Amino acid sequence: MRDRPRPDVLSALLRRVRITTSAFGRIELGAPWGFRIGPRDTVVLHHVLDGEMWLGLDGRESRIGPGDLVILAHGTPHTLRHRPGAPVADETPPAPDGLSVRRRYGGDGAVTVVLCAESVVTGAGRALLLRALPPVVHAPAAGEPVPGLGRLLALLREEVRAGRRGAPLIAARLAELLLLNGVRGELERPSPAGSWRAGLADDRVARALDALYDAPERPWSLVTLARAAGMSRSAFAHRFRELVGESPFAHLTRWRMELAKEMLREDPGLTLGEIASAVGYGGEFAFGAAFRRVVGTPPGVYRATASGHRREDTPGL
């Protein structure tokens, strides 16, 4: 076991995640200013270039200083102010509605300059990845707690400052790398048992997670998963539940259903039998029963609903 390479569960999960930056821009905020930002389906990033601001979340306010990066992974409502307790305007988001937009808000007082981005996270790995993150990830500039973050931020600032051809798209891609770097840094921090993240820090449980994420179609049993972890069956079952917070098969089933949902949404040419086989079920009946139990609706209904949403979101259709 000592000679085996460490499992890279995060890579296995990120292969099933797509990140697209939908909005990015440089915002100048002159005091007095304050915004109440409502719930979103996106991941929001704020990077302070100059000055400071106060982030309000769940009744608490935190200072965000120059050079700091903030990631709000769950689209949680929050406030941004020039000072604690300052009045806020409802639903006037500082985030831009396009790429590389420059705007100014507020009064003639002290200026805070912020790079703001909104990223859309999709794919089968989305639910697990976002569930592992706290409401806010705050990476302060001092000490660079996330390796490489400072270099990425410097590149991003340079793209925005220089305004060269292609800068909006390059800056958007850099924002996506920022998000990935911040997520990785957060997941590498210690986590209490029962939160899924704790399983990543345990080599043996992580080997089992890596195996089932990489090959969900295999006919996994408690014996084969325990073998992948290098543990006895009973010790593995206990350790997995203790760290991850659910049984190995409950976790495997939820992962299979996330993969199935992605295939139902993204590939209308696949039959239910093909999807069932791809996620480890011998037939449509067993797959349909599992899907309905976990997701709450039959796979055919889910596919029809997802297709309808796609048509509504597509201009000209």
Report the chain (317 residues): mean pLDDT per 10 consecutive residues.
Answer: 66 88 86 90 91 94 93 91 90 55 83 91 89 87 72 84 80 86 81 83 92 94 96 96 94 96 93 96 95 96 78 35
Q: Count each helix (H run) and each strand (E run) in the chain, helices first.
A: 12, 11
Rounded Cα distance between 100 and 27, Å, is 10
Ramachandran quadrant class, 49 (left: phi over 0; alpha: psi -120 to 50; beta: rest): alpha
| pLDDT the model gives residue 311 | 42
Q: Are 139 and 67 in contact (CB under 8 A)?
A: no
Q: Indicate the residue type of 10.
A: L
Segment 160-167 long-range contacts (CB within 8 Å, at least 24 positions apart): 160/26, 160/100, 160/115, 167/100
Task: Walk across the sheet containing 89-90 and list its strands.
Answer: 60-64, 53-57, 78-81, 34-37, 89-90
Q: Which alpha helices (H) appear in the chain, and where do they start and end?
A: 9-14, 126-131, 149-162, 167-187, 197-200, 203-214, 222-229, 233-244, 248-266, 272-278, 284-295, 299-313
Query: ∠ at Cα 259 (258, 264), nearest 5°?
Result: 95
Q: Which residues contact 98 (CB under 8 A, 6 or more apart)?
A: 23, 25
Phi and psi at residue 117, in whole multiples of 5°? Answer: -145, 150
| pLDDT the model gives residue 316 | 30
Annotate 154-168 with DSSP letters as a single string: HHHHHHHHH--TTHH
Sort 210 into a burial class: Cβ within 10 Å, 0-12 / 13-18 / 19+.
Answer: buried
Rounded Cα distance between 172 and 24, Å, is 6
Query: ∠ at Cα 230 (228, 233), nearest 5°?
Result: 85
| pLDDT the model gives residue 96 | 53
Tokens matching residue 210: 């890596």
**DSSP code for 247:** -
